[in-house]
């Protein structure tokens, strides 16, 4: 079975299990989506949602966070990992959105990636989930699963993104990246399946006997 055949099987299984893919990060607008994605680095979506449920009803625009200032932002998000770094990014990002974009979230990868604390993956999520633009955000989970499923050599996340975009039709990208995340959390966990027990792994590799080692992102 080659990678093209595997990709078709994977798409079929994921569409059957996850016909709908709600956005896991709770948000009120494109700005709060951007903030939530930024906050989600090195922590769980559930942790971010737990923190932002008390923030977004009151603070949900760039000028709100500029008025708060870095110290108060830190206090609001201190239960999240690397909160000082993130608070600085949230403050500077909010300031730049006001100064350069009239408080609006820009609609291009280039402009998003120029914002403080925003890398390619964060920009991809916002373009995909915020603006509906075809993108394939690759986080550590997708990077790991793509290797287990024989869709990439796992050299780095940039290569993984290229490989996934090559193998799957563009119309599927936005939904598929969420389907893969949901499936990984439920069935193909890092310290559970090891490429040996879930439906996708056993279908694509019925003769696999040894746990699969994956390269970190």
Q: Mind listing the domains of the chain with CATH numbers?
A: 3-21+136-204 (1.10.1670.10), 30-130 (1.10.340.30)
Inform me whether the pLDDT recorded for 217 exceeds 90. no
How confident is the model over 40-69, as a mean pLDDT? 96
Question: Has 121 been annotated as catalytic?
Answer: yes
Q: What is the mean pLDDT of the chain?
A: 96
Question: Has 45 been annotated as catalytic?
Answer: no
Choose the catalytic residue: 58, 95, 121, 155. Answer: 121
Cα dihedral sign, 23-28-33-39: negative
Choose the catalytic residue: 139, 170, 192, 210. Answer: 139
Per-residue pLDDT, 102: 97
Crossing angle between the packed helical segments 62-77 and 83-101, to the nearest 10 degrees: 180
Compute the distance between CA of residue 171 and CA of residue 177 in angstroms, rounded to an integer.
12
Let me know how many helices (H) and strands (E) the chain has, helices first. Answer: 11, 0
């Amino acid at each position: 079975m080659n990678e093209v055949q595997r990709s078709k099987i994977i798409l079929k299984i994921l569409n059957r299990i996850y016909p709908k893919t709600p956005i896991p990060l709770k948000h009120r607008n494109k700005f709060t989506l951007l903030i939530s994605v930024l906050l989600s680095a090195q922590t769980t979506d559930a942790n971010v949602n737990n923190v932002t449920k008390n923030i977004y009803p009151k603070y949900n625009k760039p000028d709100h966070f500029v008025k708060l200032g870095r110290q108060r932002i830190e206090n609001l998000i201190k239960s999240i990992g690397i909160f000082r770094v993130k608070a600085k990014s949230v403050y500077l990002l909010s300031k730049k959105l006001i100064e350069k974009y009239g408080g609006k979230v820009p609609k291009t990868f280039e402009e998003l990636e120029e914002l403080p604390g925003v890398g390619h993956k964060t920009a991809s999520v916002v373009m995909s989930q915020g603006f509906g633009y075809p993108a394939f955000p690759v986080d550590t989970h997708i990077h790991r699963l793509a290797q287990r499923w024989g869709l990439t050599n796992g050299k780095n996340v940039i290569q993984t993104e290229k490989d996934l975009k090559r193998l799957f039709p563009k119309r599927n990208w936005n939904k598929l990246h969420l389907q893969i995340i949901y499936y990984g959390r439920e069935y193909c966990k890092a310290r559970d399946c090891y490429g040996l027990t879930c439906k996708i792994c056993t279908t694509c590799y019925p003769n696999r006997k040894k746990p699969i080692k994956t390269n970190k992102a």
